[in-house]
Amino acid sequence: MKCAMIYALHGAVGHADDWKNIASSLAGSDGVRMSRVDLWRYLMCCPMSLTEFAAAFNKEVMAQTKHSDEKPVLLGYSMGGRLALHVLLDNPSLWGGAVIVSAHTGIDVSERSARLASDAEWAAKAIKGEWKTFVEEWNGQGVLDNDVMPNRNNLEQRRQPVARSFMDWSLGQQEDLLENLGSEEISCPVLWVVGEGDQKFTQVGKKAVARIPSAELKVMSGAGHRVPWENSEAFASLLGDWLAKENLR
């Protein structure tokens, strides 16, 4: 029996334990395990670009899976979804499949300066501001305005890498990946997931799956941007069914 190993990448101002309930739900499916990746450890000591992260992460996964006959599965949400796209493009042959949730493929060059400036403000709030106020402001944004995520108080001790992520992994630092996603090298199945209440990222998802050879788009009802937590039971079920359909577990 196949034993799927999912590497899950959390979002901005998130942490690895965000995936805990999803992992527990999937544990009930035969042959499904999840490695909940702590993205902040990559930014603890020094800057790391999106492409540098992709190369470093793939190197680690290759070392961890070198004795396995099964290819791992990549899962990324929002910022983690953008990182996952870079990981997939860096070494597409390593991965048996990928699930991208509420992620952006990239913005126009003309928009990048404004995004970098905005993210610099978030970085300053994360590193210097009162932590509770910073988290409240972050969660108060339109697409994130809900209470479905776990408590963020324990992230205060990681405020330095959280702040650095707004600079190093800003959407303003990212090339537009849409053209690259059409590469024939990406032959593994890709599931792109968005919430029906998140029209902006639904349009991004439609454009992305039109480029990727073996991709499908799933629009989840009863959810916005934070799909895995706004409709967690349905998301876990979708993920388990997709793994089975693609013979990944």
pLDDT for res 242: 95
Which tens digits make up the pLDDT trace of 42-92?
999 999 999 999 999 999 999 998 888 889 999 999 999 999 999 999 999
Instruction: Report DSSP letters for 95-153, one per residue.
Output: -SEEEEES------HHHHHHHHHHHHHHHHHHHHS-HHHHHHHHHTSGGG-SS-SPP-G
**Dist CA 199 CA 127 (whole Å):** 31
* 152 and 196 Cβ atoms separated by less than 8 Å: no
pLDDT for res 145: 66
Going by the DSSP 8-state scheme, the letter that residue 186 receives in this structure is -
**Dist CA 144 CA 122 (whole Å):** 15
Which tens digits make up the pLDDT trace of 122-172?
999 999 999 999 999 998 887 776 667 878 888 999 999 999 999 999 999
Ranges of each domain in the chain: 4-105+178-245
pLDDT confidence bin for 34, thresholds 50/70/90: very high
pLDDT for res 27: 78
Residue 193's φ and ψ, nearest 5 degrees, are: -120, 135
Kindly list the distances between the CA atom of residue 184 and the CA atoms of 27, 41, 106, 214, 237, in Å, as whole numbers in the listed order.
33, 32, 20, 10, 29
* Pairing mode of beta strands 190-195, 73-77: unpaired
As a CATH number, domain 4-105+178-245 is 3.40.50.1820
Which tens digits make up the pLDDT trace of 189-209?
999 999 999 999 999 999 999
* Average of per-residue pLDDT across 221-244: 92
Which of 138, 156, 162 minimizes the C-alpha distance to 40? Answer: 162
